Chains A and B, each alone.
Chain A
Amino acid sequence: MDIRFTPEQDAWREEVRDFLDAELPPEKAFDVEFDEDEALWEFSHAFTKKVGAKGWLGLNWPTEYGGLGRPPIDRMIMSEEFEAREAPLSGSIGWGLTAGSLLAGGTEEQKQHWLPKLGRMDLHVAEGLSEPAAGSDLASLTTTAKRDGEHWVISGEKTYTTWGTHADWLFTAARSDLTASRHRGITMFLVPLDLPGVSMSPMLNLGGGRQNHTFLDDVRVPHEYMIGEEGGGWHMIMNAFYGGGIHAGHAYYERAFAAVLEHCKQTRRGDGLLIDDPIVRQQLGQLALIAEQLKMLTYESVSNFNNQKPPSFGGAIGVVVSKEARPRFFELCNRIVGPLCQLQEGRFAPMRGQVEAWYRHSYANHAGGTSQVKRMVLATRGLGLPR
């Protein structure tokens, strides 16, 4: 048992910090999920390209696909540092989900073609999996893809398309075989968003970001944009979701905790500082506990990878805990700050309104399936309860 970083890993962390010192002015830090400011987005694109140019977007990928072949812990360390500064890394559907799918089930030719491009952020990819009637039950999707010579004709409606208006490609799933079983007939595609027949309408979310309805109306997609094998989509998505790089989600909570703690050290209510209020201290203790739980779950996935152990409890425990922790964590932040937690801006808003925003953001905890679905996975695959 060991929970220390090696000198090489410490040096890598320093390298990441130096990069962020040089390339990320604090005022350009923002959450790419919930901010539509054009100037910030312009910065985000340029910043992400710089990260890509260093090879860091594909840090763990094999070198023959433009990656650096580094171990997952290095990606985790990088993620800790990026989260700690709210670095606006965009395009995760491309270098994360699409690349993860390709690595899980792409042909050799596809990997050679797409991965270097994704690693450089030459393509900005939006997510096009969910449909109005296929959310957690993604396998019930009804968008169809019909082969027509060297093209596929794709028709259907996608929903929740995050970053749709910032991206130029859509990573999407369509039913290519209507006679196959529901898991077997799904094929993945990368669809250029400027093709005829693609349109979007906005869905504004509670967090302040824009998502989209995406309409695919007989869109003719070249066969070479198919990802993976025909009918192999389900396998790829599942393995991309569960087998992607190790994200240091805990660092998001550590950053929020540090800000709330500082607020409590400086803010008076009644006769004393918040930090001396016994109830506030209990709530701060609970926040620290949640952040620590999430950190240890992240570290456990690193450890399991190193030891070639399967993920604990069917791979579901980490997602269940983090999905359920998010709203609870920010409710606690609200209670600590008190009624002023409603304020968004202006001189009375504590912490520049961050607590108000974090709370709204906290309901964006359903990407990749709800905690309830993950609990079913935990119970059946992890504990052996009947389906």
Chain B
Amino acid sequence: MIDLEFSEQQQLLQHTARNFFAAQCPIAKVRSLETSDLGYSDELWKSMAKLDWVGLSYPTELGGAAGSILDLYVLYAEMGRCLAPTPHLASSVIAGETILRGGSEAQRGRLIPEMSRGDLIVAPALTESDGAYGADAVQLVAQADGENGYRLEGAKILVPYAHVAGQLLVAARTGSGPDGVTLFLIEPGAKGVDVEKLGNIANYPLFAVTFDGVAVSRDAIVGPVGAGWATLEPVLDRASVLQCAEIVGAGEAVLDIAVNYAQQREQFGQPVGKFQAVQYLCSDIAIDLHLTSLLARQAAWRLDAGLPHAREVALAKAQASESAQHMVRQAHEVQAGHGFMMETDLQLYTRRAKHWEFNLGDVHHHLDAAVAAL
């Protein structure tokens, strides 16, 4: 059966989420949160938790709602549409699902219910100073230190929400090769950990975290030693697809902005949207977001169905990274000087699109991954 429509429940979730974010996260709030100390709203986050969205994909016995990736896809498209600033992708998906997969029963029981309630944020610390993405890029050293633990030495960058995280989920190198990565849970307040804010284009809460001989006990390891990347990789696939969904939702908003402007703005005695050159720009945006949506929905569905998905995920994120950049460029051409002004909303999307383009692997990474998957 070839059916690309969302289920009735998913359509209901879409409707609820659209109304929720329109009411709870209007664009004025997005603007004010961006420059606030926290960079997000704990009130909004807790409201999402009450709706079971923070732990949407977690098992019910751990406080979740046992949702699928397609359910999350629907939620992410709506968060993208209104640019909701939340730690969902970092904490609920990347950290939470890694703990669910790799963590001990004790770790799961202790952390996941608290995360579902929105009371605990766990920040994944994966990227290092060269910005590379993948197992090879993990170079931060975890040196065995006696019987009971490890010492971590090195730095992570682009760590989201480290300022409010109760735990950091750190990928570190305990051996060579892809089987030499181990995951550690470390409190940001631990001795030797330093957290430094990174100014960035989207004003995202992104941080550099340095580890200066930080002592970690063995019970802070998530999953077997050396199996860190194997635990993380399937979660990053899921996260990549959700990043695509966020881009699709934002793309729909960008398309609305461009089309509305082209319909209303008059020059040379007619709406500029009557000029074919402007119609081209608008149709480019529609094509970008539509192709991203088709490829990302396919990838999400394959993840849910338990089918091989490396190629489909890689192609979806390659498309999404390309589209994220291209659709805002075309929208800037439509809105011209007006779109360059901070008072217009387009720039809010433009700046976040740059984060999304590179988050979880850029177009080069994913095109290569798609070929590797053949």
Contact = CB atoms under 8 A, between A and B. Distances in A.
Contacts of B255: 383
Interface stretch (A61-69, A294-302, A353-361): A294-302
B290 A306 contact: no
A92 to B, nearest CB: 23
Contacts, number: 138
B301 A2 contact: yes
Interface string A316-340: 0100110000000000000000000
Given A261-B374, A299-B2, A385-B274, A285 B318 contact: yes
A313 B263 CA distance: 17
Given A285-B367, A288-B315, A1 B4 contact: yes
A265 to B, nearest CB: 10
A67 B318 CA distance: 42
Interface of A: 1-6, 73, 261, 275, 278, 281-282, 284-286, 288-289, 292-293, 296-297, 299-300, 302-303, 306-307, 309, 312-313, 317, 320-321, 372, 375-376, 378-380, 382-387
Given A379-B282, A383-B259, A3 B2 contact: yes
Interface of B: 1-7, 10, 70, 255, 259, 262-263, 270-271, 273-274, 276, 278-280, 282-283, 286-287, 290-291, 294-295, 297-298, 301-302, 305, 311-312, 314-315, 318-319, 364, 366-368, 370-371, 374
Contacts of A378: 283, 286
Contacts of A2: 1-3, 301
Tell me what chain B mostly uses at the interface: helix, strand, loop, or mixed. helix
A79 to B, nearest CB: 14
A385 B4 contact: no
Contacts of B270: 386
A303 B367 CA distance: 27
Contact of A1 (B7, B271, B279): B7
Contacts of A306: 1-3
A386 B318 contact: no
Dominant SS among interface residues on chain A: helix
Contact of B263 (A1, A285, A320, A386): A386
Contacts of B295: 292-293, 296
Contacts of B278: 385
Contacts of B368: 278, 281-282, 285
A93 B1 CA distance: 29
Given A1-B7, A321-B287, A378-B286, A385 B279 contact: yes
Q: Ordered nearest first, which 4 A-B pairs have the shortest CB separation? A: A285-B367, A379-B279, A296-B294, A385-B273
